[in-house]
C-alpha cells in the first residue's frame, strides 16, 4: 500500500488533503539526504564528476553532480511523461523555465509575435509574459477563464499566422479542471500549422493524467515535483520535443557547449535541454527529487489515475448530497486530483477543519480545495465530509476568527 511509503502527519487521526500544495515526504528521503551529506564530505569537489549512483544503484551507470539534472530527467521524468530519453531535464523552478522559453531567440520573428494564454495561468507564467512583453514586442492575447472552465473554442479561434506560442495549464490551479487530451492535441495541431509552438504547464497534472507528451504532441511541457510528486521545492522539470531547436538567452555557464574552455562568448550546448541550465546547479534538492516519482512509477500511472478518480467520485457524491456547489468537473476526462468546492467563509471553514487536524486549503475566501491522493483512505474522506457537513449545519466554522490576511501559505 503506497500510504505506508510516506511519513503521515501527526497526530494519528490527522488527514492531509493538500497534495496540490506540497506532497507528503516519502520514507526514503532522509536516507537520500544522508547520501548528499556523505558525498559532499567524502568527495568534495570531485563529486561533480563521480559519486555512487544512489538513484539506480543496480544499473552500474556513472553519475556525477554535473549531469545529475539530465540523468534524473532520463530515468524518472521521461517515464513520468512518456517522453524519450534526451528530452527532459530537472529545473530549479518553473519561473526559471518560463524565462528560458520566452528568451529563446528562435521564438519570435517579424510579425510572429503573439502569445496566447488565459488569465487562469499561474503567476509564474502570467507575470513573466507581461514582464517580457515590452522588451520583445510581444502581443499578448489573454483569454478570460469562465466558471465552467477554459473557453476552448475561443483559444482555437485565436490561433493565427502571428501566433508564436500558446501556454496553457494542463490543470487549472484554482478550478482543478483538466484540459481534455483531445483539445490539447487539436490546439497543438493548429499552432503547428501556423508555425507556432504549444507549451503546457503540467504542475498540477502529476497523478491526474496518463496521457504522454508524445500523444499530446506538445512542444514543451513543464511542471514541478513539489506537489503530488512529493519532491519538495527546487525540483521542477521541462520536456523539450525532439528536434525542437531553441536557444534561451538566459543560458548560463552550465549550459554552455564548452564550459571549461572559459571562452568570452557563449557557445550554446549541442543538446537543447542542457541550454535550460543557468549558473551552478543546486544539488541538495536533487537528492530527494524523484523519491515520490519512484513511488508513482512503481504503482503504475494508470493505477494512480484510477485511485484518484475513485476518491474524487466519492467527494462528488458527498458534496452533492450536502448541497455544496462543486467547481471541479464532474466528467472524468476533465477532472484532476484537485477537488474544489464553492463555499461562503471558506477560509474560516478551512481553519475550523485544521483545528480538527483535517488539512485543506482555501482560495479567495470562497473556494475550499482538497486533493485526496494515494496516502488518503476513504475513511479519511468520510471523516472530512462529516466535519464539513457538521460545521455548515451548526455554523461552527463561523466561530473561527476571520482572516487577517489570505496567506502566505495555508
Q: How high is the pLDDT of residue 401?
A: 77
Residue 335 cell numbers, joined: 477532472
Q: How high is the pLDDT of residue 404?
A: 57
Please report which residue ranges of 82-122 form alpha helices under DSSP H.
Answer: 94-102
Does the structure show a pLDDT above 70 at 162?
Answer: yes
Q: How high is the pLDDT of residue 211?
A: 83
Confidence label for 149 from pLDDT (cuts 50, 70 and 90):
confident
Q: How far is CA 13 from CA 10, 236, 310, 324, in A?
A: 7, 32, 22, 25
Q: How high is the pLDDT of residue 209?
A: 84
Confidence label for 233 from pLDDT (cuts 50, 70 and 90):
very high
Q: What percent of the chain has pLDDT over 70?
A: 98
Q: How high is the pLDDT of residue 106?
A: 95
Q: What is the mean pLDDT of residues 369-378?
A: 97
> What pLDDT digit, counting tens, does each position of 36-92 carry?
999 999 999 999 999 999 999 999 999 999 999 999 999 999 999 999 999 999 999
Name the average pLDDT for the chain.
94
Does the structure show a pLDDT above 80 at 107?
Answer: yes
Query: Domains of the chain (ranges plus CATH)?
Result: 2-20+300-399 (3.90.1150.10), 34-297 (3.40.640.10)
Residue 276 and residue 230: Cα distance in Å, rounded?
23
Nearest residue to 73 via CA among 396, 290, 306: 290
Q: Phi, psi (5° rounding) for residue 14?
A: -65, 150
Q: How high is the pLDDT of residue 1?
A: 79
Q: How high is the pLDDT of residue 398?
A: 86
Confidence label for 405 from pLDDT (cuts 50, 70 and 90):
low
Q: How high is the pLDDT of residue 237?
A: 98
> What pLDDT digit, counting tens, does each position of 307-316 carry?
999 999 999 9
Confidence label for 403 from pLDDT (cuts 50, 70 and 90):
low
Secondary structure (DSSP) of 148-170: TB--HHHHHHH--TTEEEEEEES
Q: What share of the chain is helix, strand, coil (3-state, %, to 5)?
A: 40, 15, 40
Give the angle subtended at the CA of 384 by the CAs of 381 and 390, to the nearest 5°: 140
Nearest residue to 145 via CA among 377, 327, 365: 327
> What pLDDT digit, counting tens, does each position of 26-49 carry?
999 999 999 999 999 999 999 999
Q: Which residues pair with 361 in a beta bridge?
A: 369
> What pLDDT digit, counting tens, does each position of 327-353 carry?
999 999 999 999 999 998 999 999 999
Q: Which residues pair with 6 in a beta bridge?
A: 26
Residue 2 and residue 175: Cα distance in Å, rounded?
27
Positive or negative CA dihedral for 370, 371, 372, 375?
Answer: negative
Confidence label for 175 from pLDDT (cuts 50, 70 and 90):
confident
Q: How high is the pLDDT of residue 363?
A: 85
Does the structure show a pLDDT above 60 at 194?
Answer: yes
Does the structure show a pLDDT above 90 at 235?
Answer: yes
> What pLDDT digit, counting tens, does each position of 255-266 carry?
999 999 999 999
Q: What percent of the chain has pLDDT over 90?
A: 90
Does the structure show a pLDDT above 70 at 179?
Answer: yes
Q: How high is the pLDDT of residue 208?
A: 78
> What pLDDT digit, counting tens, does each position of 261-309 carry?
999 999 999 999 999 999 999 999 999 999 999 999 999 999 999 999 9
Does the structure show a pLDDT above 70 at 402?
Answer: no
Q: How high is the pLDDT of residue 206?
A: 87
Is this structure's pTM higher than 0.85? yes
Amino acid at each position: 500500500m503506497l500510504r505506508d511509503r510516506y511519513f503521515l502527519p501527526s497526530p494519528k487521526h490527522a488527514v492531509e488533503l493538500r497534495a496540490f500544495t506540497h506532497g507528503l515526504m516519502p520514507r526514503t528521503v532522509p536516507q537520500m539526504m544522508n547520501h548528499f551529506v556523505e558525498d559532499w564530505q567524502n568527495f568534495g569537489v570531485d563529486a561533480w564528476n563521480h559519486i555512487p549512483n544512489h538513484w539506480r544503484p543496480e544499473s552500474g551507470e556513472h553519475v556525477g553532480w554535473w549531469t545529475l539534472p539530465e540523468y534524473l530527467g532520463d530515468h524518472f521524468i521521461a517515464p513520468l511523461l512518456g517522453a524519450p530519453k534526451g528530452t527532459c531535464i530537472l529545473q530549479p523552478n518553473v519561473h526559471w523555465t518560463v524565462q528560458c522559453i520566452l528568451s529563446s531567440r528562435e521564438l519570435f520573428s517579424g510579425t510572429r509575435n503573439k502569445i496566447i494564454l488565459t488569465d487562469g495561468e499561474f503567476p509564474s507564467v502570467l507575470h513573466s509574459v507581461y514582464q517580457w512583453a515590452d522588451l520583445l514586442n510581444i502581443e499578448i492575447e489573454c483569454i478570460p477563464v469562465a466558471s465552467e472552465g477554459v473557453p476552448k473554442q475561443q483559444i482555437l479561434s485565436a490561433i493565427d499566422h502571428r501566433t508564436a506560442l500558446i501556454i496553457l495549464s494542463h490543470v487549472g490551479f484554482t478550478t482543478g479542471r483538466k484540459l481534455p487530451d483531445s483539445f490539447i492535441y487539436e490546439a497543438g495541431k493548429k499552432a503547428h500549422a501556423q508555425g507556432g509552438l504549444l507549451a503546457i504547464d503540467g504542475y498540477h497534472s502529476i497523478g491526474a493524467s496518463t496521457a504522454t507528451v508524445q500523444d499530446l504532441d506538445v512542444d514543451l511541457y513543464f511542471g514541478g515535483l513539489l506537489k503530488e510528486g512529493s519532491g519538495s521545492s527546487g525540483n521542477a522539470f521541462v520536456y523539450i520535443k525532439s528536434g525542437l531547436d531553441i536557444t534561451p538567452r538566459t543560458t548560463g555557464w552550465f549550459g554552455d557547449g564548452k564550459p571549461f574552455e572559459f571562452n568570452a562568448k557563449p557557445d550554446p550546448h549541442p543538446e537543447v535541454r542542457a541550454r535550460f541550465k543557468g549558473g551552478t546547479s543546486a544539488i541538495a534538492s536533487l537528492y530527494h527529487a524523484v523519491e515520490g516519482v519512484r513511488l508513482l512509477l512503481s504503482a503504475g500511472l494508470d493505477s494512480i489515475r484510477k485511485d484518484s478518480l475513485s476518491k474524487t467520485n466519492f467527494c462528488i457524491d458527498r458534496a452533492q448530497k450536502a448541497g455544496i456547489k462543486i467547481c471541479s468537473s464532474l466528467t472524468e476526462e476533465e477532472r484532476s486530483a484537485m477537488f474544489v468546492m464553492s463555499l461562503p467563509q471558506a477560509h474560516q471553514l478551512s481553519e475550523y477543519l485544521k483545528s480538527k487536524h483535517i488539512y485543506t486549503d482555501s482560495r479567495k475566501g470562497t473556494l475550499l480545495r482538497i486533493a485526496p491522493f494515494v496516502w488518503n483512505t476513504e475513511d479519511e474522506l468520510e471523516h472530512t465530509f462529516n466535519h464539513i457537513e457538521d460545521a455548515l449545519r451548526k455554523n461552527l466554522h463561523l466561530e473561527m476568527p476571520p482572516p487577517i490576511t489570505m496567506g502566505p501559505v495555508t
